[in-house]
């Protein structure tokens, strides 16, 4: 797993783009960051192997002030960060990221709270723990705001890394967030055009994929209980019941 993480964080496309390869599909997203303060691609966040739910988005947003891996970090430091991002020192109260000066941001990451609320609808635990109960993965690993550069490099990034990452995951449920990710995932895995696709083989394992709006979208109906019928929700809940 560490070897895969290192391959992602040192992706050869980054070097090519920063050297001016205008034809590279990743050029737009890579060069949207400052070269001197480049934050590395995000392989996953949480317990990839054991988390029962995968949160699958289009690409990670960026906070330039966050204490986040760069080229100076060792592979062990990178692995510890991404595996323990929500349970270690990197995040306070599963809401506030550590900043470069060692303090914690006073602004909570709203996306994380929204994701926990959606997972709680199908995983009926008293408390959902980021990293343990869900692991976050992005189709495109490089960071940008508002999906800048994502469509251009989705195919390249997913072909290189998607199944390699999911091969390590035993998650039975995938929550796919947002229309951009939904369209791509349905095409990439040849899935039916439905809100929930059950027991489909993805990366060698049977999984249920649920497509919901991104928390930051303007779509009014975002709760899973309002998107799926009672029977569909119950089947998903029963899949996850064995984990607690």
Q: Which two tokens stand for residue 203?
A: 């990366």
The tens digit of pLDDT for each residue in 42-68 reads: 999 999 999 999 999 999 999 999 999
| Selection from 42, 27, 68 nearest residue 156 by Cα | 27
Please report, rounded to a whole number, the percentage of residues in the chain having pLDDT higher than 70.
100
| Per-residue pLDDT tens digits for 125-149 | 989 999 999 999 999 999 999 999 9
CB distance 122 to 233 below 8 Å:
yes
DSSP 100-166: TTS-B-SS--HHHHHHHHHHHHHS--SS--BTTTEEEEESS-S--STTTTHHHHHHHHHHHHHHHHH
Q: Does 244 have pLDDT greater than 90? A: no
pLDDT in tens, 77-100: 999 999 999 988 999 999 999 999
pLDDT digits (tens, 9 = 90+) for 154-165: 999 999 999 999
Please tell me the distance from the alpha carbon of residue 63 to that of residue 54, in angstroms, as a whole number.
23
Mean pLDDT value across the chain: 95
Name the pLDDT band for 41 (thresholds 50, 70, 90). Answer: very high
Helices and strands, counts by H and E, the chain: 8, 7
- Region 175-198 average pLDDT: 96
Q: Are 236 and 208 in contact (CB under 8 A)?
A: yes
Could you tell me the end-to-end alpha-carbon distance of the chain, in angstroms, rounded to an integer?
26
- Confidence tier at 219 by pLDDT (50, 70, 90): confident
């Amino acid at each position: 797993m560490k070897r895969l993480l290192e391959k992602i964080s040192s992706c050869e496309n980054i070097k090519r783009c920063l050297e001016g390869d205008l034809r590279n599909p990743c050029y737009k997203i890579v060069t949207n960051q400052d070269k001197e303060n480049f934050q590395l691609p995000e392989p996953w966040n949480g317990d990839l192997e054991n988390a029962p739910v995968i949160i699958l988005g289009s690409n990670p947003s960026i906070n330039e002030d966050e204490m986040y891996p760069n080229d100076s970090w060792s592979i062990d430091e990178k692995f510890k960060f991404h595996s323990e991002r929500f349970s270690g020192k990197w995040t306070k109260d599963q809401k506030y990221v550590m900043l470069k000066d060692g303090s914690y941001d006073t602004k909570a990451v709203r996306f994380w709270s929204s994701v926990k609320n959606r997972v709680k609808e199908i995983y009926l635990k008293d408390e959902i723990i980021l990293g343990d109960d869900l692991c976050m993965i992005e189709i495109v690993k490089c960071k940008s705001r508002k999906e800048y550069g994502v469509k251009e490099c989705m195919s390249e990034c997913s072909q290189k890394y998607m199944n390699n990452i999911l091969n390590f995951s035993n998650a039975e449920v995938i929550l796919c967030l947002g229309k951009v990710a939904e369209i791509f995932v349905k095409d990439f895995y040849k899935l039916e055009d439905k809100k929930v696709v059950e027991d489909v083989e993805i990366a060698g394992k049977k999984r249920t994929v649920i497509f919901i709006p991104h928390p930051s979208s303007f779509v009014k109906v975002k709760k899973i209980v309002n998107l799926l019928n009672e029977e569909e929700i119950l089947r998903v809940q029963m899949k996850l019941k064995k984990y607690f």
